[in-house]
Structure 1
Amino acid sequence: MTVTSGGSESTNRTDIEEFDVLVVGAGIAGVGGAYHLSTQRPDSTFVVLESQDNFGGTWRSHNYPGIRSDSDLHTYGYKFKPWTGPPIATAEEILNYMGEVIDENDLSGHIRYNHKITSAKWSSEENRWFIEATQTDTGDSRYFSANFLWMCQGYYRHSEGFTPDWPGMDDYQGQIVHSETWPKDLDYVDKKVIVVGSGATSATLIPAIADSCEHVTLVQRSPIYYGTGRNQNELADMLREIEVDDEWIHEIVRRKIIHDQSIFHRRTFEEPEVVKEELLTAVRDILGPDYDIDTHFTPDYRPWRQRVALVPDGDFFESIKSGQVSVETDEIETFTSTGVVLKSGAVLEADIVVAATGFNMNVLGDIDFSIDDQPLVFSDTVNYRGMMFTGIPNLLWVFGYFRGSWTVRADLLSDFVCRLLTHMDDKDAQRVEVKLRPEDEDMELLPWQDPENFNPGYLTRAMPLLPKSGAKPEWHHSQNLAEDLKVIPGIDLDGEEFVWG
């Protein structure tokens, strides 16, 4: 078979597997995408390429103790499969749930594990993507082509986390580990442990290890907001008690949660001080009136600017209350051979230092992309509703919600992809891309996300690599689920922003 790759470079290959759709990643979005393709587009051929040795994405790659969801599973679960367990679930429970989706829908034959994509080349002459992947268990190269590329790889760079370059790290005689690459054999029993970094990871990890350690100290540069509450959904429990079908319960509870989250999100803009006090009062109720909430748990930003971390049953704060965990709101001045010195002068000794300091984003899966032999500069493109990009044909990227469940948007975009592909068939078109309309030519171009709206470190560090947003609603990722649920299903695929060929 002779293939024109990138429009000018011809290679003679007989080992290219051809598909209608290639899905990148077998995490929560990729498995969901496979389900939607198999049910909505049963005549389409597709393959899912996954770099790890099994499905699960984040829930497979993260090994730190206590790992659990930071979203409720009524919305983090798929819309098509009821969730019947506790709202906040462990990684094992989520993997079991995903495994059931794969088994019940006969999806395993579509998934290729240990396939790490190294390059993706679009050929306008062939109207296809040409994909090279390395089989990580053998080192062999594998080649694929597809008409449409569906990017479901998430945004974690699983191979490494973000670790600041602290002075004196080489002098430290203990272990430094990152939560992103937690060693499965790490022995923390009866050890003094420092966990560096505020956020959902710290709040999850600390209560899971606190009982086993001699002591745990959280060192945070600045606090974040936490949401506390019981790990149960009273509405779901009541509906189960009166024997409502699981499918109905899932839909009703899902809608109620999305409705409540929309109200909360609006309130963070309209009455931020009221929301702030509500969140802090819940923490104060656990830690008591004498705890220094102002220093350790009162952020200097308004609630909407970073994600609120969920603490089911207040377990993180109960660990602090018990004395097993202490909190230092300060910065590391330097490491020593036995621990760290903080900028305040405080000296902390530790056998293990855990860097729960965030992650690095991968941008389009860290894949080498090109369009007709020209390297793709992703930051030169303009995003269309956070999913398609000017100048990039036949590609959609699933990028979820910062403040809500990733899967709600993944399901929504799965429906959109299937509708897009069907429209492509109806028009007998081989390619589709988005372009700025004449009325958009003078539109102001902005960063991917407004830093005044949402500004965690991982996003700030990656912003120069991400596409531009526009000042009009079509040309940015709104991060507004209620808006997306109304707008995305009704997108006019014959609108002037779509170019069919």
Structure 2
Amino acid sequence: MTGTETLTKPAPKTAGGKVEHFDTLIVGAGISGVGAAYHLQDQCPGTSFLVLETLESFGGTWLMHKYPGIRSDSDLYTFGYRFKPWTGAPIASAEEILTYMGEVIDENDLARHIRYKHKISSARWSSKDNLWTIEATRTDTGEVFHFTANFLWMCQGYYRHSEGYTPEWPGMEKFKGNIVHPQTWPEDLDYKDKNVLVIGSGATAATLVPAIAGDCKHVTLLQRSPTYFIPGRNENELADQLRALKIDEAWIHEITRRKVLADQAEFTRRSFEEPDVVKQELLAGVAMFLPQEVVDEHFTPKYRPWRQRIAFVPDGDIFQAAAAGKASVVTDEIETFTEKGILLKSGKELEADIIITATGFNLSVLGDINFEIDGKPLNFADTVTYRGMMFTGIPNMVWVFGYFRASWTLRVDLLGDFVCRLLNHMKEKGAKRVTVKLRPEDKDMKLMPWIDPENFNPGYLMRGMHLLPKRGDKPEWQHTQDYWVEKEELPEINLDAAEFVYE
């Protein structure tokens, strides 16, 4: 979505000669879309809705990523939905997460509302008709379909599934081996007895290295700078103790969830108020597996904790792989690719048969869909966000964007409640349209980038900040990223406050 393209041709009819209409259209069948569908069905009975998904099945991230060892980097007691107990280990594999999501779909008869292999290209709002018109193409047949909806619920995630982010390094064309991004992992990639070089320092790299270390001849992690990790046993003692007492799983889920959230709130508070202490605690966890000199050189970040996401490393597996000599860590910068591998700025050359670029992803602003409002191209950077979910001047739409320092799904549940309450409120008022607008007291409010770089600054956000809506300096005009505040505030939002305009 560039905000510069104009859709001029009238929408053709679908292959079947009709345009289908739904009260609400949900974009995406990942963790957000499936949660939205559940809440809509549960809290807005009688509402017609459709979920459109580009991929061949549900799951989003968990379906699209195929690289070895893919797992959650946050606990499933909070990453799982509040309405369905999680009964496995806190850190789960993609397969386990997909199984869990499949159970949600089956148990709630949601499959009949989902259409797969439908890629949305455009969404056009008409104030005359108070309708969104959505154009989607079947990815397997090329057929074009059109839908209208009163309300658009954007649950498509925040990064581009079709391609990951790989920097343009000098000499990449010289390398004789394979260059692979984890996001587009080839099913036939043979790394057995090969020298593998993984570039990156985040959760993906930390997952990949131990997953392939046993099969590679050797795997080397090359990072420009270190990242914080939390090593620990992949279990929850409280949940296990409650199970031993034969407590009902629904109770276990709720109690464990609250305990995890309370611990996370305390950890987040301390990371801001006493960052040096928290830093030493995190590094001490790594030092349980590796010599102090290795921790100092390769696992001591320059930034304070929580300026980037911190991944949980179950059983310290990446550190165990390094300690056992199956994996190495190199902290340096790339000078150029060579025929045999990579030449570092220090002058050292790392040889490899396969280079894996675990270097992040590309931000996708609302699914890279071409949006129009009454015939005019929409540039989201020209809008101001309302609590990171609605945007000034854009009617009947909510975007689910989760949390950086807590599980994404926590906001899926919170916004599920909000959207359903909003839709029911509109029905009671007889309103066909709701838009948020700046109030008179916001007239001179300072507008800033979507997120404060001093607060949180991962590469994908920094590279795409110019595409995102603006935030104000008041809590209601920004995505605070604070679950512990939002869980109290969002349910109490006055839907008849001045920022909401109904027509």
Q: How high is the TM-score relative to the length of structure 2?
A: 0.97
Taking the aligned partners of 1:261 and 1:382, their CA distance within structure 2 comes to 29
The alpha-carbon deviation at position 156 of structure 1 amounts to 1.9
Q: Tell me, yes or no, if structure 1 residue 153 matches structure 2 residue 156.
A: yes
CA contact (8 A) 1:7 1:125 kept: no
Taking the aligned partners of 2:329 and 2:11, their CA distance within structure 1 comes to 60
Q: Tell me, yes or no, if structure 1 residue 478 matches structure 2 residue 475.
A: no
Residue 283 (structure 1) aligned to one of 279, 282, 286:
286
Deviations 1:212-262 (A, max 9, x none): 000001110000100111000000001111011000110111111111111
Aligned to 2:306, the other structure's residue is in SS state helix
Pick which of 12-21 and 280-289 moved more.
12-21
Q: Which runs of no fewer than 5 residues in structure 2 stay unpaired? A: 1-5
Taking the aligned partners of 2:10 and 2:168, their CA distance within structure 1 comes to 45
Who is 1:106 aligned against? 109
Equivalent residues in 2 for 1:12-27 (5 A)? Answer: 13=13, 14-27=17-30
The alpha-carbon deviation at position 295 of structure 1 amounts to 1.7
Taking the aligned partners of 2:8 and 2:161, their CA distance within structure 1 comes to 34
Taking the aligned partners of 1:488 and 1:244, their CA distance within structure 2 comes to 31
Aligned to 1:305, the other structure's residue is in SS state coil
Who is 2:456 aligned against? 454
The alpha-carbon deviation at position 84 of structure 1 amounts to 0.1
The one-letter code of the counterpart of 1:363 is V
Pick which of 32-41 and 43-52 moved more.
32-41
Who is 1:215 aligned against? 218
Who is 1:245 aligned against? 248
Taking the aligned partners of 2:267 and 2:11, their CA distance within structure 1 comes to 55
Taking the aligned partners of 1:296 and 1:223, their CA distance within structure 2 comes to 6
Aligned to 1:357, the other structure's residue is in SS state coil
Taking the aligned partners of 1:117 and 1:327, their CA distance within structure 2 comes to 42
Who is 2:401 aligned against? 399
Who is 2:77 aligned against? 74
Equivalent residues in 2 for 1:157-236 (5 A)? Answer: 157-236=160-239
Taking the aligned partners of 1:122 and 1:461, their CA distance within structure 2 comes to 29
The one-letter code of the counterpart of 1:22 is L
Taking the aligned partners of 1:364 and 1:12, their CA distance within structure 2 comes to 23
The one-letter code of the counterpart of 1:156 is Y
Q: Tell me, yes or no, if structure 1 residue 413 matches structure 2 residue 382.
A: no
The one-letter code of the counterpart of 1:350 is A
Equivalent residues in 2 for 1:82-161 (5 A)? Answer: 82-161=85-164
Taking the aligned partners of 2:319 and 2:140, their CA distance within structure 1 comes to 42
Taking the aligned partners of 2:304 and 2:12, their CA distance within structure 1 comes to 58
Aligned to 2:105, the other structure's residue is in SS state helix
Taking the aligned partners of 2:12 and 2:305, their CA distance within structure 1 comes to 56
316 and 12 in structure 1: CA distance in 2 versus 1, 3 angstrom threshold: closer
The one-letter code of the counterpart of 1:109 is R
The one-letter code of the counterpart of 1:461 is R
The alpha-carbon deviation at position 304 of structure 1 amounts to 2.0
Aligned to 1:44, the other structure's residue is in SS state coil
The alpha-carbon deviation at position 9 of structure 1 amounts to 7.7
The alpha-carbon deviation at position 468 of structure 1 amounts to 0.3
Who is 1:254 aligned against? 257
Residue 370 (structure 2) aligned to one of 357, 368, 372:
368
The alpha-carbon deviation at position 288 of structure 1 amounts to 2.8
Deviations 1:171-213 (A, max 9, x none): 1100000011111110000000000010000000110000000
CA contact (8 A) 1:217 1:328 kept: yes
Who is 1:59 aligned against? 62
Taking the aligned partners of 2:418 and 2:50, their CA distance within structure 1 comes to 18
Q: CA RMSD in A?
A: 1.2
Taking the aligned partners of 1:92 and 1:379, their CA distance within structure 2 comes to 37
Who is 1:264 aligned against? 267
Residue 439 (structure 2) aligned to one of 437, 458, 464:
437
Taking the aligned partners of 2:435 and 2:110, their CA distance within structure 1 comes to 29
The alpha-carbon deviation at position 38 of structure 1 amounts to 1.1
The alpha-carbon deviation at position 316 of structure 1 amounts to 0.7
Equivalent residue pairs, number: 495
Taking the aligned partners of 1:196 and 1:329, their CA distance within structure 2 comes to 10
The one-letter code of the counterpart of 1:447 is P
CA contact (8 A) 1:268 1:303 kept: yes
CA contact (8 A) 1:7 1:123 kept: no
Taking the aligned partners of 1:182 and 1:404, their CA distance within structure 2 comes to 27
Who is 1:3 aligned against? none
Who is 2:3 aligned against? none
The alpha-carbon deviation at position 143 of structure 1 amounts to 0.4
CA contact (8 A) 1:7 1:372 kept: no
8 and 460 in structure 1: CA distance in 2 versus 1, 3 angstrom threshold: closer
Aligned to 2:355, the other structure's residue is in SS state strand
Q: Tell me, yes or no, if structure 1 residue 44 matches structure 2 residue 47.
A: yes
CA contact (8 A) 1:412 1:485 kept: yes
Taking the aligned partners of 1:65 and 1:223, their CA distance within structure 2 comes to 22
Equivalent residues in 2 for 1:313-332 (5 A)? Answer: 313-332=315-334
Q: Tell me, yes or no, if structure 1 residue 487 matches structure 2 residue 498.
A: no
Taking the aligned partners of 2:212 and 2:12, their CA distance within structure 1 comes to 56
The one-letter code of the counterpart of 2:405 is R
Identity %: 65
Taking the aligned partners of 1:12 and 1:144, their CA distance within structure 2 comes to 11
The one-letter code of the counterpart of 1:479 is Q
Taking the aligned partners of 2:420 and 2:188, their CA distance within structure 1 comes to 43
Deviations 1:439-488 (A, max 9, x none): 00100001100000000100100100000000001000010010000000
Aligned to 2:356, the other structure's residue is in SS state strand
369 and 12 in structure 1: CA distance in 2 versus 1, 3 angstrom threshold: closer
Residue 37 (structure 2) aligned to one of 34, 52, 58:
34
Taking the aligned partners of 2:69 and 2:406, their CA distance within structure 1 comes to 21
Taking the aligned partners of 2:281 and 2:26, their CA distance within structure 1 comes to 42
Taking the aligned partners of 2:191 and 2:435, their CA distance within structure 1 comes to 52
Aligned to 2:335, the other structure's residue is in SS state strand
The one-letter code of the counterpart of 1:432 is V
The one-letter code of the counterpart of 1:308 is I
The alpha-carbon deviation at position 10 of structure 1 amounts to 6.1
Taking the aligned partners of 1:323 and 1:12, their CA distance within structure 2 comes to 61
The one-letter code of the counterpart of 2:80 is G
The alpha-carbon deviation at position 293 of structure 1 amounts to 1.5
